Structure 1
Amino acid sequence: MAERGASTEDRIVAEVEKQIVEAFEVFDHEDSKTVDVREIGSIIRSLGCFPTEAEVQEVLAKVEEEPLTGYVHLEKFLPMMTKVILDKRYPPIPEDVLLHAFKALDQNKCGYVTKEDLVKYLTEEGEPFTQEELEDMLSTALDPETNAVHYTDYISMLVIDETEDLPL
């Protein structure tokens, strides 16, 4: 019985590591097993983890090459990120909290937020999005016909994606 449990755990770890490597490789443009430190937040978020920018900086402090080169090697990132995922650190924001936040932005209570308003909120309030983060979000969230984010539909997409990404 104990052996069977260990093999299940080993399979889960192997699957998590495979997903981390695949996400890392998307940003490893030179196939050198390294990525630019500016890509780490995107890699972590693509794995279903949602750290703040301060938490991304904490991760970087642990995995960036010494002396500081501006790059992160897969061999340092993989074990640290595996532990992050298995420990379920940086969980997604609950669906009801996201809905409440969008409703607060929807001053006219019409079920959507315009692109202009969303860009303003995401770049001028709280922890501002980078241009890349903003473009990534808008490419998924924005309805091209109305140029708005219909937030109940968008939140539903986020929730489905989170549960499908990882075996945990």
Structure 2
Amino acid sequence: MAEAVVSDVHKKIRAVFEAFDNESNNTVDVREIGTIIYSLGCFPTQADLHDLIAEVEKDHTGYIYLDNFLPVMTKVLLEHKFPPIPEDLLLQAFEVLDKEKKGYLEPEELTKYMTQEGELFSQEEMDEMLTALADRDNNVLYYKDLISQLTIDPDM
């Protein structure tokens, strides 16, 4: 059972990592790590994120190798180190931002909130997030559809 859980965690980490491995050489740009970690349902503080990057970027080349990232991230996920936000709380947060109760947010709205409030995202992080999450046809973020992508099964 434990081996199956670890195997599933490894598959999930690899899948997300590979989505950002543009050269298909088991490396990603260090600037992608935050997005990868968030995509895995973990929400570390900026300080925690910097500590994790320091742990996995051993050679300071600006690239993270899957071989260094996989064991560290596996431990993070198995220990629930940066716990996911519960789905109902995430939905409430989106609903607060959606003042007109449209069921979606415009990319500009989300960018304003994420770059000017709380723990700030960079414009580059926002561009990556919007590219990954915005509905391609309508260029909006249907947040009810996104919640399952932004959370992780707590029993994993």
- For Structure 1 versus Structure 2, the TM-score category normalised by the shorter chain is 0.7 to 0.9
Name the counterpart of 1:15. Answer: 8
Name the counterpart of 1:110. Answer: 100
Give the match's secondary structure for 1:48.
coil
| Residue identity matched to 2:19 | V
Report % sequence identity: 48
Structure 1 segments unaligned to the other structure (5+ residues): 1-7
Q: 2:54 aligns with which of 51, 61, 69?
A: 61
After superposition, the Cα gap between the structure-2 partners of 1:102 and 1:159, relative to the gap in structure 1 and judged at 3 Å, is closer
Alignment of 1:80-91 (within 5 A): 80-91=72-83
CA-based RMSD: 2.9
- 1:130 maps to 2:118: no
What are the Cα deviations for residues 74-132 of structure 1, in whole angstroms up to 9, with x where unaligned? 221111111011111222223443344345445xx421455444322221222222224
Alignment of 1:120-159 (within 5 A): 120-139=112-131, 140-141=133-134, 154=143, 156-159=144-147
Aligned length: 152
TM-score normalised over the length of structure 1: 0.71
- 1:160 maps to 2:148: yes
The structure with the greater share of residues assigned to helix is: 1
Alignment of 1:30-41 (within 5 A): 30-41=23-34
Larger Rg: 1
Contact 2:13–2:40 (8 Å) recurs in 1? yes
Contact 1:65–1:73 (8 Å) recurs in 2? no
Contact 1:63–1:76 (8 Å) recurs in 2? yes
Structure 2 segments unaligned to the other structure (5+ residues): none
